[in-house]
Copies of this chain bind each other. A is one copy, B any other.
Amino acid sequence: MAMSQRIFTAALVVIGDEILSGRTHDKNIAQVASWLQVQGIRLAEVRVVPDVEERIVEAVNALRARNDYLFTTGGIGPTHDDITVDAVAAALGVAVVIHPEARAILERYYVDKGGLNEGRLRMARVPEGAELIPNRMSGAPGIRLGNLFLMAGVPHITAGMLDALTGQLEGGAPLLSETVGGFIPESEIATLLRDTEKAHEGCQIGSYPFFREGRVGSNFVIRSTERTALDACMADLCAGLDRLGFAWTAGGI
């Protein structure tokens, strides 16, 4: 894969009433985000939308216009509430067609499970011009259309599809990070964090407080695409914590 200093971004549309009702706890945002980091691609925005075609169309069109890649999760199964393929085809202005290879995959997958029926055949439908993303877990493939990737909602099926895409996408320099943490109230070192970030161009410091064992603490994450800058910033932050008398642990706690 070509490496470049340009920043590549992706957006994710999570599709499904079950997330918006609170019934299902989304796991795909975190797993797609982590996977993208390894590919050198930054997740720039996520939208969670209901199973309503016009809302999916709006999100897909807004986000694909300003990102290098767009992923969706959810809504590609066999039932009436699975409308992602139709919505994406509408967003792109292309027809929905049966993909012959997807049909063959599903025929093989269901050969000893009662064969294809109307619902199962729905999973062979793709926006015209699409390729398939392999699904080792459950037959029905994901769908790729240029820089647009339609994936399953069930997290471990999504994981398999991401795995199949590993190394296939052009990305930039991966974002590196270093973490330092301790039972340190972030409100006592806000000035140190701000000044340290300012002194190290190309580095960003995030502050993530927690309450654990009845005590207040924080992890501080420094991010940069440059190893030298990152290490210098980390060294300065740790020296600052020493100066203020805080115990800290590299890697975070």
Interface residues, chain A, with chain B CB atoms under 8 Å away: 14, 16-27, 29-37, 42-51, 55, 77-82, 110, 113-114, 117-120, 122-123, 137-138, 154, 156, 175, 177, 185-191, 193-194, 197, 204-211, 216, 221, 223
Contacts and interface: CB of A to CB of B under 8 A. Distances in A.
A243 B154 CA distance: 28
Contact of A188 (B18, B37, B117, B177): B117
A167 to B, nearest CB: 18
A209 B153 CA distance: 9
B31 A22 contact: yes
A122 B21 contact: no
B43 A207 contact: no
Given A81-B207, A188-B119, A191-B119, A20 B48 contact: no
Given A44-B50, A46-B47, A197-B80, A18 B206 contact: yes
7 contacts: A22-B35, A45-B49, A47-B48, A114-B188, A119-B191, A120-B187, A138-B216
